[in-house]
């Protein structure tokens, strides 16, 4: 992934269409490496999570082109590559496994990010009645060591329909149910980095199983 990070570093410094078109071959080579990595991760994750088996990498990798129509930031390209591996692909809003490649900002994550209101309501209803099961998962020592805190995106007050003194009120306030772990660039370029990524995703698997249970109700 060193060459991919090299491309992204240069893109960050030259975020314009002229430079991008002059270096399109470098982009295409970088994209292919990310697609290949995603394919490998799909197969490895599929060994313990059958929900992702048969996924196509193209359905998981995010486009590098930014939608600038309604943004003050008119830079045309993202300065990262990302893949979200989940049942139905990145657009499905299912729980899954995320890989983010960006100079100085690489990370892995798992769970569900900013679900729409009906999905979030289903999760909250399930947590309200099965909160202890979620606490068992996120407080498991090995999990807690690598993923100590949920992504901090939560309401200040109790969500509508839930008592402010509910025993799991702090969990119910979350708007995303996702855990992430920052990675150094050496952790995504070494000889065994894929094996380490898969280990992290396997630790996140029980969280995704829990969220699938919540969405099945």
Integer Cα distance of 209 and 49 in angstroms: 9
Torsion of CA 89, 93, 98, 103, to 10 degrees: 100
44 close to 198: Cβ distance less than 8 angstroms: yes
Mean pLDDT of the chain: 95
Helix (H) or strand (E) holding 6: helix 2-13
pLDDT of residue 95: 96
Tokens 């269409």 map to which residue? 17
Average the pLDDT over 147-151 and give the result: 92
Tokens 């590559």 map to which residue? 81
Residue 2 exposed, middle or buried by CB count within 10 Å (0-12, 13-18, 19+) = exposed
Angle (CA) 11-66-60 rounded to 5° is 95
Q: Quickly list H helices, 104-217.
A: 117-138, 141-146, 169-172, 193-215
pLDDT of residue 191: 82
Give residue 105's pLDDT band: very low, low, confident or very high (50, 70, 90). very high
pLDDT of residue 67: 86
Task: Sheet containing 106-112: give its strands across.
Answer: 81-86, 96-101, 106-112, 177-183
How do residues 156-207 score in pLDDT, each as one tens digit?
999 999 999 999 999 999 999 999 999 998 899 888 899 999 999 999 999 9
pLDDT of residue 10: 97
Higher pLDDT, 151 or 212: 212
pLDDT of residue 210: 97
CATH architecture of 2-215: 2-Layer Sandwich (3.30)
Contacts of 156 (CB under 8 A, 6+ apart): 173
Domain spans in the chain, listed from the N-terminal domain onward: 2-215
pLDDT of residue 189: 86
């Amino acid at each position: 992934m060193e060459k991919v990070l090299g491309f992204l570093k240069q893109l960050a410094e030259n975020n314009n269409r002229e430079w991008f078109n002059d270096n399109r071959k470098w982009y295409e080579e970088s994209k292919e490496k990310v697609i290949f990595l995603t394919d490998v991760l799909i197969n490895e994750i599929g060994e313990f999570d059958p929900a992702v088996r048969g996924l196509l990498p193209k359905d998981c990798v995010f486009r590098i082109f930014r939608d600038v129509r309604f943004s003050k930031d008119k830079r045309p390209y993202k300065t990262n590559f990302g893949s979200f591996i989940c049942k139905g692909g990145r657009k499905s809003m299912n729980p899954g496994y995320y890989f983010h490649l960006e100079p100085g900002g690489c990370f892995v994550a798992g769970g569900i990010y900013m679900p729409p209101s009906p999905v979030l309501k289903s999760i909250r209803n399930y947590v309200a009645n099965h909160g202890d099961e979620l606490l068992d998962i996120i407080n498991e020592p090995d999990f807690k060591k690598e993923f100590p805190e949920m992504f901090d995106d939560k309401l200040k007050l109790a969500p509508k329909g839930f008592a402010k003194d509910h025993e799991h009120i702090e969990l119910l306030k979350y708007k995303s149910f996702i855990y992430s772990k920052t990675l150094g660039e050496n952790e995504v370029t070494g000889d065994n980095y894929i094996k380490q990524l898969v280990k992290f995703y396997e630790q996140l698997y029980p969280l995704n199983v829990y969220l699938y249970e919540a969405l099945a109700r």
